[in-house]
Structure 1
Amino acid sequence: MIALKDIAKIADVSISTVSNVLNGRKNVGRETRERILRICEEYGYDTSGAGKKAKAGQSNTVLFIFSDFDRDFYMKIIEGISDCLTENGFNLVVCTNKSSADFMRASFAGGAICLDGSMTDAFLAEVVAKEMPVVVMDRIMEGGQANAKSVVVDNYPVMCELVQALVDRGMKRFGYIGGMSHTLDNKERFAGFADTLANNRMTFDQKYYYHGNYRENSGYQAAKLMLLSNDLPDVVVCANDSMALGAIKAFEEHRVRVPADVSVTGFDDSAIAEMAGLTTVAIPRYESGYIAAKKLLELIGGQAAETGPFKMGASIRWRKTVK
């Protein structure tokens, strides 16, 4: 997917210049304008949404709401959201759950993208009922609200693929470090993990399930508990990269070799995971942000949301933490 920043790089101009051209502003010279439009056509860049504005009397500001500063993958998501909104002449305000409720009103924002597990479905439904379009990225909105859309990762099939590959590599005893149990991500990832083991007629012992909260320290503590049991599994599958890196830190402190003594996998493919050589599942974070913003703009423009959530595919990155 070619993005606004790619068009700007090819044309050797700023992103704001490309945005001005696509939104019909007159502050760009004719030669530059024609060059940008020619590049868009050559690379198949969709300009059909260019110049789209908020409805009369509606704010052209969009909120992105999230709750956890500890996870670096938010930056790519925000980049994707920002590029899409900039292309279409909308502004972006990034806020956390502590301040978001104050901003989620039509007089301030034309719509919101929510990636905040602490914001309840009931509150979001109330916001949507007041005719503020909302796209959620961490759950599937129930009830079929006409002014809401879900953009989520398709966790289940890629987790099945990962666990099946581990089984095929000869792994027999599996450990699992889960995230917060109420989250859609953890439910789907564990379901893929457990179902794949069952399909291979392998029994998963619940004593090897350790609860975490997606933060590195919870993975560290889970691995410490495994070490105390003196009964390590062949592989520890973690519901995200931060917990996997915490587990590896604990193992290394006790001179347990990864992957010679125990293999470890993550989920997300954060920048630090790549540097650490962590086997993980790569989520298209930039693309998910871009698509979430695109779906929100469709709602703001009055287009009915398609039935069901938009699910993003993911892929495995095999690295040195699996033998």
Structure 2
Amino acid sequence: MSRRGVTESIDVSGRRSTIVDVAREAGVSIKTVSRVLNHEARVSEKTQKKVREVISRLHYRPNLAARKLRNSEKTLIALICDNPQQHLSGFNADLQIGAMRECNKQGYFLIVDDFGSPECAFEDILKYPDLAGVVLSPGLCDNLKILDALDSKNIPYVRVCPQKELDRSSGVKIDDYQASVDLVKHLIDLGHESIGYIHGHPDHMVSEIRYSGFKDTLDKVGLRVNPQHLQWGLFDYDSGLKAAQNILNSDVLPTAIMAGNDDMAAAVIAIAGSMRIKVPEELSVVGFDNAPIASLIFPRMTTIDQPAIEMSKLATEMLIKEISSPNTVPHVLTVEHRLILRESAVKPM
């Protein structure tokens, strides 16, 4: 998006309509259109009505970012992800969609940095004079060094899925513990008694929370996990492959495997297929997040829907409100999760 371009939008035909088009169609000056958009009183009611009819017909929307630039307002929001090439790739893609939609709606430019990659420019981004605020993804949202750096520079930030120091900033999360309980309880209700588990990234506090929900639920019904069926992953597909190989090469196979996210669960299904273990007939597999891969693989995956797009959109909306009102009291919003039942989990044979 050009920072010097004419204020514009897209009409139903796909062509971008501009304030010039509105003025021409209404037979008025560009300044008059601007006055109508700014609700100034120096335009007659008849002219206002005519201009607004043209605006509606052309589906014209003012470019809020351009307006902010003209008013010397900060227009840049940074979404900092925990290296999307390695961790939480499907989840991070959804975070970008949600943040992008809210930034577009409210007239901000979005940049994304993959913290932990060789090209990471996090320190440079914090020096941008146009930086209005930061959205932090899971893992980074609980990194106290990052939070301290943002606080020291008085940069507003909102966190997605925070688990530590919840009164420190605003954020959006689900109840990961209860979601994990709901998922493993479904497996138990199906009749599974031997259930393996693949942890998420050890640096992400949510990994331990999800495992706690899993273990506590098993404990309540007197079930134990075979140590060979308990593996660590990194929330990515490759680590899921290694973890699945270790579990499925154990002395006794579990009847089900629960993974800390969908990417790792998809890897379990792939390894099971390569070993001629039928999913779900011989092995049920469940994931977490409801990432796109969960409904694209076969069999489609039973999982927890963590509405990442909506969570990111809400977090970005909260950030923009706090940018406008710096004295806003921080609060963490807990959104609902859903158990999504698909074909990857059935009663054991």
Alignment TM-score, normalising by the size of structure 2 = 0.75
Matched position secondary structure for 2:203:
coil
Partner residue of 2:52?
Answer: 30
C-alpha distance in 2 between matches for 1:285 and 1:15: 31
Decide whether aligned partners of structure 1 residues 123 and 238 sit closer, same or farther in structure 2, where only a CA change above 3 A counts. same
Alpha-carbon displacement from aligned partner over 1:223-268 (angstroms, at most 9, x marks no partner):
2112322311111000011111111111111111111111110111
- The structural deviation recorded for 1:140 is 3.4
Call closer, same or farther: CA 1:36–1:270 in 2, change over 3 Å. farther
The percent identity for this pair of structures is 23
Say which of 248, 254, 269 aligns to 1:227.
248
User: Does structure 2 retain, via aligned residues, the 8 Å contact 1:24–1:51?
Assistant: no
Aligned to 2:162: 139
Give 1:273 shift: 1.5
Match status 1:107 vs 2:125:
no
2:43 maps to what in 1? none
Report the equivalent of 2:341. Answer: 318
Instruction: Tell me the secondary structure at the aligned position of residue 235 of structure 2.
Output: coil
Are the counterparts in 1 of residues 228 and 250 from structure 2 also a CA contact under 8 Å?
no
Residue in structure 1 matched with residue 225 of structure 2 by the alignment: 204
Aligned equivalent of 1:191, options 191, 212, 222: 212
Which has the higher mean CA deviation after the structures are superposed, 117-126 or 92-101? 117-126
1:29-70 C-alpha deviation (Å, 9 max, x unpaired) = 522545799xxxxxxxxxxx999969x865221111112135
> Is structure 2 residue 70 aligned with structure 1 residue 60?
no
Q: CA deviation at 1:311?
A: 2.0
The equivalent residue for 2:113 is 95
Structure number, greater radius of gyration: 2
Q: Which amino acid aligns with 1:223?
A: A
| Corresponding residue for residue 264 of structure 1 | 285
- Letter paired with 1:74: N
Question: What is the alpha-carbon distance in structure 2 between the residues aligned to residue 193 and residue 16 of structure 1?
Answer: 52
Relative to structure 1, the CA distance from residue 176 to residue 15 in structure 2 (aligned partners, 3 Å threshold; closer, same or farther) is farther
The structure-2 alpha-carbon separation of the partners of 1:110 and 1:220, relative to structure 1 and needing over 3 Å to count, comes to: same
**SS of corresponding position for 1:72:** helix
Aligned residue pair count: 298
Query: 1:155/1:139 Cα in 2 relative to 1: closer, same or farther (>3 Å)?
Result: same
- Unaligned regions of 5+ residues in structure 1, if any? 1-7, 38-48
Task: Classify the secondary structure of the residue corresponding to 1:110.
Answer: strand
Deviations 1:65-96 (A, max 9, x none): 11213513333322221221222221111222
Which segment is superposed worse, 268-277 or 73-82? 73-82
Q: Secondary structure at the match of 1:278?
A: coil
CA distance in 2, matches of 1:36, 1:311: 39
**Structure 1 residues 106 and 280, CA, compared in 2 at 3 Å: closer, same or farther?**
same
Encode CA deviations 1:169-204: one digit per residue, 9 max, x unaligned. 111111100111231221221111111112223233
CA contact (8 A) 1:264 1:321 kept: yes
Rate the CA distance shift 1:193–1:88 in 2: closer, same or farther, 3 A. same
Match of 1:75 in 2: 93
Find the residue that maps to 1:172 and give its secondary structure: coil
Q: Distance in 2 between matches of 1:221 and 1:295?
A: 39
Distance 2:305 2:79 in 1: 22
Report if the CA contact (8 A) 1:171-1:235 is conserved. yes
CA contact (8 A) 1:264 1:278 kept: yes
Identify if the C-alpha distance between structure 1 residues 259 and 303 changes in structure 2 by more than 3 Å, giving closer, same or farther.
same
Q: Which moved more, 1:60-69 or 1:114-123?
A: 114-123
Contact kept in structure 1, 2:196 and 2:247, CA below 8 Å: no
Separation in 2 of the partners of 1:243 and 1:123?
27
Partner of 1:217: 238
Does the aligned pair in 1 maintain the 2:175–2:337 contact within 8 Å?
yes
Aligned counterparts of 1:15 and 1:243: Cα–Cα separation in 2? 43
State which of 173, 181, 197 in structure 2 corresponds to 1:152. Answer: 173
Q: 1:196 to 1:24 in 2, by over 3 A?
A: farther
1:306 shift after superposition: 4.4
Letter of the structure 2 residue corresponding to residue 266 of structure 1: G
| Gaps in structure 2 of 5+ consecutive residues | 1-8, 23-32, 40-49
C-alpha spacing 1:13/1:88, structure 2 compared with 1 (3 Å):
farther
